Amino acid sequence: MNSQKRTGLFLVFVLSVSLISVSVTAFFMADLYNRMQFRLLNNICESIIRELPEAEKTIPSVLKKFKNGQAADTRGTILTDYGYRQSDFAGYTRNYGLLSAAGGFLLGGILFLSAFWYRHKTEMLRIRALTDYLEHVNTGGTVLHLQEEEDDFSKLQDEIYKTVTFAYQTRDAALEAKQNFAENLSNIAHQLKTPITAIHLTTQMPELTAKPETAGQIRKQLERLTHLEEALLLLSRLDAGTLPLEQKEIDVFTVLTLAADNLQEVFSDAGVFIDIPERKAARLTGDLDWTMEAIMNLLKNSMEHTPAGGIVHCFYEQNPVYTQIVIRDEGEGFAKEDIPHLFERFFRGRNAKEGGIGIGLALAKEIIENQNGTICARNNPEGGACFDIRFYSH
């Protein structure tokens, strides 16, 4: 049964109920009118007999003729001649008629509103059932099969169920593809280990060590391959969700200091300084080692874009909602067209340093986001690039 037929049946039901209420009202009004007419005639007869006792014999015979339909239909105007009108004898009848009409209208209205309320309640229950179903799906629950009902929401229910089922299938396919991608990255990284080890051994041969320039170039490329292999392994673990991240309280100043200490030699070679002023104690919940790894990648990126003699500034603070860490440099800043892509894997911006593989910022972002954090990059109005990190409390 389609929705148009159901709507038509509902309207027919409401109309039927209304007609029944009108018919019942008309019946009661007719009965009431007859009773009022009988009472009025009885009062008139009693009054006549009281005033004229001799009329007691005449009145029954006249009434009998009217009862048997034998009385002539006289359309006289005796009451009018006496100065009376029809409304003069209909006072009570009118009041009872109006009361009956009001009762009938009220009864019809109640029945109509009851039918409308029942339909509305049924629709709200169906809407609530569909809403609860979607909430259950959105909170990660399993796909439940809704009870099939033939109503106006049947088609909507079918489409919702199809959409949810398709979404679950798409999610499962995406998770499987992500798992396969992580496994492929891991396999590639492991396959790189063998040739890198072999090349390391080769560089130690006498004929190569006699040529410092050649050996230096090979070692440089080996370091780059080693870093790529380590980064691929880390990315595969992040994608597969197998990277163990502890959830402990960490002092922010300690994290920044340890990260700076590990990069001290690199910063010294570049002639760049790190400024980490100690402020009011601030803490975040996360893994000390991996958070430090993410901070080191950001510090190194800032150092690479800061001219010799410049400073990389670190700032942190905490509020009830999140702990914020800001890292900014004194370089030329990011190219505007690069900002939306800075955290993409293997992306190298216009001002990227030669020799990089474009994976450090992506790793930092992955580690931070896996610890209930966010990171964004922007240019400072006064110059230089800036990374804004926020670790949320909840």
Biggest distance spanned by C-alpha atoms of the chain: 160
Long-range contacts of the stretch 277-281 (C-beta < 8 A, 24+): 277/314, 277/315, 278/253, 279/253, 279/315, 279/316, 279/317, 280/317, 280/318, 281/251, 281/253
Residues composing the chain: 394
Contact 282, 316 (CB under 8 A): yes
Q: Name the most confidently modeled range: 29-38, 148-157, 335-344.
A: 335-344
Q: Which pLDDT belongs to residue 288? A: 93
Instruction: Give 274-313 pLDDT, tens digit per residue.
Output: 999 988 889 999 999 999 999 999 999 999 889 999 999 9
Q: Which pLDDT belongs to residue 388? A: 96
**Where do the domains of the chain lie, and which CATH numbers do they carry?**
3-138 (no CATH), 156-240 (1.10.287), 248-392 (3.30.565.10)
- Please tell me the distance from the alpha carbon of residue 83 to that of residue 87, in angstroms, as a whole number: 12
Higher pLDDT, 370 or 103: 370
Contact 131, 138 (CB under 8 A): no
Q: Which pLDDT belongs to residue 125? A: 83
Contact 196, 229 (CB under 8 A): yes
Q: Closest Cα partner for 237 from 290, 297, 287, 185?
A: 185
Instruction: Give 127-144 pLDDT, tens digit per residue.
Output: 888 888 788 777 766 666
Q: Which pLDDT belongs to residue 10? A: 64
- Please tell me the distance from the alpha carbon of residue 219 to that of residue 202, in angstroms, as a whole number: 11
Residue 213 reports pLDDT greater than 70: no
